[in-house]
Amino acid sequence: MELPPALPASARNEHAKPVKLVLIPEEALRELLVGTNQTPAEFLASQKSRLEAGRNFLKRAKAAYWSRFWLGFSALFSIFSLVQGGSSAEDAISTVLLCGMTFVECKVYTWFLAGDRRGASYGYWNQTLFAVLFLAYGAYHCVVITPMPEVVQDIGGVYAEYFVTLSRITYGVIGLVGGGFQYMLACYYKRSLKEG
């Protein structure tokens, strides 16, 4: 049976923040409820909205668990690119932002596990920023930068134009798809506030 770890005075308030869910034997719950004139079934019924909110936050914690690795991998790739690529401004900005967002996502995971509503709001803005970065990266490489000038020069002729066009389409797709998925995750985080 999944229940809150304790019975604080605010437990009777349906609008209190969600709690972290833990397993508790029914007999232990009966002992906790002594003097409240409630059966375990009545208590669970009265706490239904908080329990559901806690379950929703645990689902978001699972998403944030994997998102931390995705952001961490992106940050490591950016650090590697910064070290190998001659310290370009683009790599430096990406590295700082991705390392910061990885740190925030680790906090979001912890907050969701604890049933803290900050996980939803910070998670939303963190993932929205990641979505914007995907879009900016795709747009920048699609519109501003000529892809691999040395390769274009070696190819030459009409094939060089095809290569440039294909590269720009690829970066545009990366920006749109990556940004779209990250924003969907951001909205998934934020929806937990309404569901709770």
Per-residue model confidence (pLDDT) at position 14: 39
Categorize the per-residue pLDDT at 30 as very low, low, confident or very high, splitting at 50, 70 and 90: confident
Q: What is the predicted pLDDT for the residue at 156?
A: 67
Per-residue pLDDT reduced to its tens digit, 74-90 = 899 989 888 887 667 87
Would you say residue 11 has pLDDT above 50? Answer: no
Q: Among 76-85, 123-132, 139-148, 164-173, where is mean pLDDT lowest?
A: 139-148
| Interatomic CA distance for residues 102 and 21, integer angstroms | 26
Helix and strand element counts for the chain (H, E): 7, 2
Structural domain boundaries in the chain: 2-48, 49-195
Please report the pLDDT score of residue 31 as a whole number: 84
Residue 1 has pLDDT above 90, yes or no: no
Q: How far apart are CA 87 and CA 83, in angstroms?
A: 6
Instruction: Match 């397993």 to its residue by tokens.
Output: 23
What is the spatial distance between Cα 33 and Cα 47, in angstroms, rounded to a whole number? 13
Expressed in angstroms, the distance from the first to the final Cα of the chain is: 20
| Residue pair 96/165 in contact by the 8 Å Cβ criterion | no
